[in-house]
Structure 1
């Protein structure tokens, strides 16, 4: 199954899910009246598949549902140590500039018509260079200081106390690849100056408007690492910035999946992009134009969230009673996550269990797609 087919398949199921939700929500509007969620009214499959919470200050605090506060900036000592100890190692294709002081015959002049790269010593495909008096010299994998000492040792047989300087005139052997939602995706050469994750993104022109700050993937030696630029830029989490190595692939995902679904008795039911700063429940409801006062049951504002993989559940369901004046404060504090489903019911809350029983197969399909695509990445 190709990735393009998987994407088209996922999009088709998402459209089917949205259509199913619309039909089921219309049917949910004519359910019998009631006032509260009745535990005895739960469908049997809901007890194992879902867990219900009431959105309250205690629930928000216990489950850390608010927007993370910016922590005090802490120096990333490991990062700084790696930066200080960084040293470039020469590879095949690099061009070395070798100067032997007081011996111009051993130094290739650059001249006005040739750049230092054109006039230097090219590292051949076997990892060696050719140098007068010495002949073939293996330099691949060595630091410039090690090459300098090696040249001085070999030339000492012909020149008394040779003074040698070695620099890299052309960095051509090692690359970092930046793909996805940056202004200039492409290749960044590895040089004698260490390159961090942020520096690589900036060198690629920065992020596009469609970039997902939460989905930065680093592929190194066949293993993936995930990073969040939001935590780095907005919360000062320096652990999200690392030094890159040769052949690293940095991919910035699109924000297509970084959205929430607002459905039910709101003025504009549809999906909404969360944006770089995230989105609270209050912001999502405001984006949707607010509740329909004539038909919405204000005590039945629900957030359906995919449960953790190891929880054994399908989803967690959070209920907000918007009839309470303090609900607006809690809605502003409640931070949404990617792919959350916000549903405002027209049916009294006691009948919500039956509505969600009908929605359960569609929710199962939606979250199964998400986990399937996540496993493929």
Structure 2
């Protein structure tokens, strides 16, 4: 029995198409549910796969706790009139004689601008000598200078003004309206007042963090907590450095979601539902709502609580599973807290791969038909 060239061409083309389809995997966004579950510890993998329930959401609901230590909170407001080392003073001295100690022949007043308080807290005034200024008020310093000069010039009148100096300033940098160095004055002796003086924050308040550096100590709070908790409106100290920056936490979205990228947090706490919404939701044409996974390296103390164990040591690979089709699935997703560096992955629905297979086969059969037609044409031409 002889086979016609056209039938041979059809067979060869079909075999070639099937061979290509079998040797090459169909394109997809990532692993399917079966493959993820195959990597569980129960199946000799290295990750614990946990279905999310109320107990799991409570155990894993960890939000960064920010706040100031007691040393920051207990620090009292510094009196705006208290002189400190590094401050700058302005002095004016009047004398009741035409030719005084300090004034010239045609003037009876002498002005000494920018008299610096040294590191030991002293200033120098001609004919009065070194005077202890730090820790005193301008009024106290005025009385000391007057007392020391009155033995040398009749009825001296002294004015002492406290100007802004190095010892009474703070620096503000970061996402602030006006970065710079600001004097601690009577209206700006607290953190909130100083932030307002500098123009306020220039990023979304929900994700703004305020760090105060004081010597070797550091405290950080959420900007919004500054107004929710009055105790966080701490008194400032000269030399404080204030940094306002955006929350750096982020999660990664992969799979059948509207966006596949590293996504920054938009609020202090972020639930799985909010994270899904933040990336554009699930793709209606391909996402599997029963296969929403959160991949995380969980600290041992939390992993032990979730698994009901006490023997785990070190960070554990955990995969939390959400099924949005369950009666309370949306509530579970709403209550489950996303954390920094989490990976949100949504699998494709099984029919998506089936559609891809059908599309691939349809395309293959079309190619087979084209090859067959070409073969028939060539056969006819050679026969003719």
- Normalising by the smaller structure, the TM-score range is 0.5 to 0.7
Deviation at 1:334, TM superposition (A): 2.9
**TM score, norm. by length of structure 2:** 0.61
Matches within 5 A, 1:50-61: 52-61=49-58
Aligned match of 2:262 in 271, 278, 292?
271
**If you compute each CA radius of gyration, which structure gives the higher value, 1 or 2?**
2
CA 1:252–1:53 in 2, change beyond 3 Å: closer, same or farther? farther
Is 1:290–2:281 an aligned residue pair? yes
Is 1:122–2:115 an aligned residue pair? yes
Higher relative contact order (CA 8 A, sep 6+): 1
Is 1:227–2:225 an aligned residue pair? no
Q: Please name the residue that 2:271 is paired with.
A: 280
Q: Is the 8 A contact 1:95 1:121 kept in 2?
A: yes
Deviation at 1:218, TM superposition (A): 2.3
Matches within 5 A, 1:1-377: 26-29=29-32, 40-43=42-45, 45-46=46-47, 52-64=49-61, 79=73, 82-83=76-77, 88-92=82-86, 94-97=88-91, 120=113, 122-123=115-116, 128-131=122-125, 133-140=127-134, 142-155=136-149, 157=151, 166-171=160-165, 173-191=167-185, 195-209=189-203, 213=207, 215-233=209-227, 236-255=228-247, 257-276=248-267, 278-308=269-299, 312-346=314-348
CA 1:211–1:55 in 2, change beyond 3 Å: closer, same or farther? same
Once superposed, what is the RMSD of the aligned Cα atoms? 4.5
Q: Is the 8 A contact 1:90 1:143 kept in 2?
A: no
Gaps of 5+ in 2: 1-25, 104-109, 302-312, 351-384
Deviation at 1:313, TM superposition (A): 0.7
Corresponding residue SS for 1:298? strand
Partners of 1:305 and 1:150 in 2: CA distance: 67
Corresponding residue SS for 1:199? helix
**TM score, norm. by length of structure 1:** 0.62
CA deviations on 1:87-143 (whole Å, 9 max, x unpaired) are 6323345023457899998999xxxxxxx9x76462266765444642443434544
Partners of 2:64 and 2:164 in 1: CA distance: 46
Deviation at 1:168, TM superposition (A): 1.0
